[in-house]
Chains A and B, each alone.
Chain A
Amino acid sequence: MLLKRYIPLAIVFLVGSVTLISWFIPHRPFGSLEIHSTQWFDIIASFAMILGALNLLKLQGTKIVQRRKGWLYSVAAVSGFFLTLVFAFLMKGGHYVVISEVGSNSAEVYQAIGDQLNLPFGVVAGQYESLSENGKTIPKYFYTERGARAFESDLNSLGAMTAHQEVAWGGHLQGSGTYFHWLFSYVFTPLSATMFALLAFFVASASYRAFKIRNVEATVLLVAGVILMIGRVPLGHFLTSWFPSWLQWLHLPNLQEWIYQYPNVAGARAIMIGIALGLVGTSLRVILGIEKSFMGEK
C-alpha cells in the first residue's frame, strides 16, 4: 500500500505543487525546475520505450507464429523493426572518397568527379584545383565500400591520390548515403506523406457531410464556410469588387475576414476558457490526490 499508493501520491503532490509555485519564483533553483522536470520525464520515457518495443514484438510475433488473420502485416511490422535496428546499429554505409592530389591528368580526373556528382567540368575544376593538405572530400556517398573503392580505383588509374573513408557512427543517422538515411528518406517519409495526404480526401468527405443542409445550424455552417472559402481566393474578390463603397462590408474578402476575426475568435476563445478551467480543475484534482484513477485506483 505504501509503495503503490502513498509514495506515488506524495511524489505527485510534491512535484505538482513545486512546479506550480516555481512559475512565480524567479530564483534558483525554482526558475529551471520545469526544464529539469521535462528532462527527467524524457529520460524515463526513453527507458520505457523498451517496454513498448518488447510488447510490439511479442504481439506481432505471436500473430506470425499462430498464423492469425493478417499475419503478413505482422511480418512487415517485425521486418521493419529489425531492419531499422540493423541499419541503426550494425550497418551504416556512407562510404566516400577523399582526394589529396589530382595528378597530371587533371582534366580527366575533373571529368570523372563531375560525372559522379552531376556537375559541369568547370565547376569541378574550380573546386578541386587547389587542395589542402588533408585533401578534399568528394561529396558522393556510397552505400557499399565496393562502390567507393571502384570510384577510387577509377581516380587512381587517372593518376589521382585518394583515400577511402566512411561516415562516423552517429553521423550515419543524418548523413546521406547511409542505409538508415535511405530507409528514412525512401521508405518512412513517403509512407508518412501518404498517410498525411489521405487527409485531403477525408477533409472533402467530412466537409460534404458537415455542409449537408439538415437544420438551421448546418445551413449557417454551410453559408459561413462557403463565404470563407470563396473570400480567400481571387474569385471572391472578382465577384464582389464592383460593390459600391457603402456596400464594401459585403465584399467577400472583407466579409470572410470579419467572420474569421470575430464570430470565429469569440467561439474559439470560449472553448479555450473552458479548456483552461478544465486543465486547472484536473491538475488540482491530481495534485491533491482526489483523482487517483490514473494510478489504477478507484
Chain B
Amino acid sequence: MEEIMQTFKHLLLLVLMLSLPLQAQILNLEAAAAETSAYGDLVNISVTAQEGALSHLLYSSGEEGPWEELRVLSPEDFTEGLAEIGLKIDNYTPTRFKVEALSPDGVLLASTETREAVTTVEHWFNAKRTNMLLAILLISGLIIYYIERAKAAKEIYLRPIAGLKAFEEAVGRATEMGKSVLFVPGIQDLDQVETIAGVIILGHVSKMTARYETSLNVPVSRSLVMEASREIVHESYLAEGRPDLFNPDMVHYLTDDQFAFAAGVNGIMLREKPAALFFQGKFFAESLILAETGNSIGAIQIAGTASPAQIPFFVTACDYTLIGEEFFAASAYLGKDPKLVGSIKGQDIAKAVIMISIGLGVILQSFGFTAFRELFRVM
C-alpha cells in the first residue's frame, strides 16, 4: 500500500512538473487603434509573452474570418517580456488578433485573442492634437495682431541685441582693412527654416557690403541655396544702386559633404584671410572647426543658429552669437520693416504667455493639481 502511495505521489509530481510550462505561460494581448497615424489605419498591439517561447501573431478580417499568420515575433521584438508593435490594417474592417506561443519544437503552449475586433476609421480631425491647434492659433493670432498694430504704430521698441548691432561694425571693419566678408548660410538645404533665416540675413549683409564696396564671399553646400542666395545678393546690390559690384560668383558651390565643405571653407579662410565671418544657418559638428579656424585668423565672427548643440561652440569661439530666437529675429531687426518688427513683438508676447503658463504649471503641480499639466501633453 505504501508503495502504491509512493508511486501515486511520484506520478502526481510528474504531472505537476509537465503542466508547469503551460501554467507559467502568461500571455496577454491588447490591440487598439492608434490615436495618431497618417490615415487612421494603424493599430497598436502589445503582446506579453514568456521569454523563450515562439510567439505567432495572427489576424482575422471580419468577425468570423479565418485566422492568418501576420508575423512571428522574434526575441528582439520583446523588451522585458513585452512587445509593442504598430500594424496597418484596412480601415472600416473589424479585425481580430490572436497570439499563439509555441515551444521550440512547435507544441502550442498557450493562445489568447483580443476580446473585441478592432476597427480603424479615417478621421477629419485629430482631436488629440486640439491643444496644439489652439496653441498655434493663439501664437499666430498674437503675431498677426501685432503685425497689424505695427502698421499703424510709428515705432515699436525692440530690445538691443549686441550680435545684431555688431553686423554693421563687422562689415565696416572689413572695409577699413580692405579685406573681404565671408558669409556661410549653414550646411543644410532650403527645406530648413534655419537656412531660410540665414539666407534672409545674407540679404541684409550683402546690402552692407554693397554700400561699403566690400567684397563678399558666400560658399554654400547646396545648389538650391546657391541659387536663392545669388538672387537675394543680386537684389541687395540692385537695391543699393550698385549692380556693377555684383558678381554671380560671389555665391559659389563647394560640396554637399559636411566635412569636405568645412575643409573648403577653412581653405578659403586661411588663404584669403577675410576680416569678418558670418555663420548664419543650420550647423552640425563642423561649427567648431569653422569658428576656431576663423578665430585663428583673427577675424570678427558673428554666428547665429537654432541648433542647440552647436550654440556653446559658437559662443566659445565667436565674438557674437545669435541664440535661438535672436537668430530668427535678425531679419526684422536689421530690416526695420514695421510688419516684421510687429511679428517679433507678437512672438515676445507669446513668450510671455508661455512663461506665465510654466510658472502657473510649476505652482499647480507643486500643490498636486496635475490637470493643468495634462493640457499641454503632446500626442
Please list the residues of chain A having a beta carbon within 8 angstroms of any beta carbon in chain B: 20, 23-28, 31-32, 38, 41, 44-45, 48-53, 55-56, 58-59, 69-70, 73, 191-192, 195-196, 198-199, 202-203, 205-207, 209-210, 268, 271-275, 277-286, 288, 290-291, 293-298
Within the assembled complex, what's the spacing in Å between the Cα atoms of A206 and B328? 26
Asked if B223 is at the interface of the complex by the 8 Å CB criterion, the answer is yes
- Take A275-B308, A278-B327, A281-B328 as given contacts and tell me if A27 and B39 are in contact as well, using a CB distance cutoff of 8 Å: yes
- Take A275-B306, A278-B306 as given contacts and tell me if A27 and B124 are in contact as well, using a CB distance cutoff of 8 Å: yes
Q: Which residue of A lies closest to B311 (CB)?
A: A271
**The 3 A-B residue pairs with the shortest CB-CB distance in the complex, in nearest-first order:** A31-B38, A278-B328, A52-B223
Chain A min CB distance to B80 (Å): 24
| Inter-chain contacts of B136 with A (CB < 8 A) | 20, 280
Contact B325 A277 (CB under 8 A): yes
- Take A26-B39, A275-B306, A280-B140 as given contacts and tell me if A206 and B292 are in contact as well, using a CB distance cutoff of 8 Å: yes
- Take A199-B285, A278-B327, A293-B232 as given contacts and tell me if A52 and B292 are in contact as well, using a CB distance cutoff of 8 Å: no
Per-residue CB contact flags for chain B residues 254-272 toward chain A (1 = under 8 Å, else 0) read 1111111011000100010
Contact B123 A27 (CB under 8 A): yes
Contact B143 A281 (CB under 8 A): yes
Most buried by B among A48, A73, A281, A285: A281
Q: Which residue of A lies closest to B259 (CB)?
A: A195
Contact B124 A291 (CB under 8 A): no
| Inter-chain contacts of B143 with A (CB < 8 A) | 280-281, 284
Q: Which residue of A lies closest to B347 (CB)?
A: A281
Contact A56 B126 (CB under 8 A): no
Most buried by B among A49, A69, A290: A290
| Inter-chain contacts of A273 with B (CB < 8 A) | 351, 354
Stretch of B71-79, B101-109, B337-345 with 4 or more beta carbons under 8 angstroms from chain A: B337-345
Chain A min CB distance to B231 (Å): 4
Contact B308 A279 (CB under 8 A): no
Q: Which residue of B lies closest to A207 (CB)?
A: B316
| Inter-chain contacts of B157 with A (CB < 8 A) | none
- Take A55-B252, A282-B328 as given contacts and tell me if A32 and B262 are in contact as well, using a CB distance cutoff of 8 Å: no
Asked if B164 is at the interface of the complex by the 8 Å CB criterion, the answer is no
B226: which of A51, A195, A275 is its contact (CB, 8 Å)?
A51
Stretch of B20-28, B60-68, B191-199 with 4 or more beta carbons under 8 angstroms from chain A: B191-199
Chain B min CB distance to A42 (Å): 9
Within the assembled complex, what's the spacing in Å between the Cα atoms of A52 and B249? 11
Chain B min CB distance to A67 (Å): 15
Within the assembled complex, what's the spacing in Å between the Cα atoms of A70 and B343? 46
Contact B329 A293 (CB under 8 A): no
15 further A-B pairs in the complex, CB-CB below 8 A; given A28-B39, A199-B285, A291-B331: A25-B123, A25-B125, A26-B39, A27-B123, A31-B37, A59-B249, A192-B259, A196-B285, A271-B308, A271-B323, A275-B306, A277-B325, A280-B347, A282-B197, A288-B144
Chain A min CB distance to B132 (Å): 8
Within the assembled complex, what's the spacing in Å between the Cα atoms of A58 and B327? 33
Within the assembled complex, what's the spacing in Å between the Cα atoms of A205 and B191? 34
What's the dominant secondary structure at chain A's contact region? helix
Within the assembled complex, what's the spacing in Å between the Cα atoms of A51 and B256? 12
Q: Which residue of A lies closest to B251 (CB)?
A: A55
Chain A min CB distance to B60 (Å): 25
| Inter-chain contacts of A51 with B (CB < 8 A) | 223, 226-227, 253
Contact B126 A26 (CB under 8 A): yes
Within the assembled complex, what's the spacing in Å between the Cα atoms of A206 and B294? 12
Contact A277 B252 (CB under 8 A): no
Asked if B149 is at the interface of the complex by the 8 Å CB criterion, the answer is no
Contact B325 A278 (CB under 8 A): yes
| Residues B290-335 near A (CB distance < 8 A) | 291-292, 306, 308, 311, 313, 315-317, 323-329, 331, 335
| Inter-chain contacts of A294 with B (CB < 8 A) | 196, 199-200, 203, 228, 232
Contact B235 A298 (CB under 8 A): yes
- Take A56-B254, A294-B200 as given contacts and tell me if A278 and B329 are in contact as well, using a CB distance cutoff of 8 Å: yes
Within the assembled complex, what's the spacing in Å between the Cα atoms of A247 and B254? 56
Within the assembled complex, what's the spacing in Å between the Cα atoms of A48 and B190? 12
8 residue pairs of the A-B complex, CB under 8 angstroms, read A25-B125, A26-B123, A27-B39, A52-B253, A55-B226, A206-B313, A278-B347, A290-B339
Contact B37 A26 (CB under 8 A): yes
Asked if B281 is at the interface of the complex by the 8 Å CB criterion, the answer is no
Contact A202 B189 (CB under 8 A): no
| Residues B83-110 near A (CB distance < 8 A) | none
| Inter-chain contacts of A291 with B (CB < 8 A) | 200, 331, 340
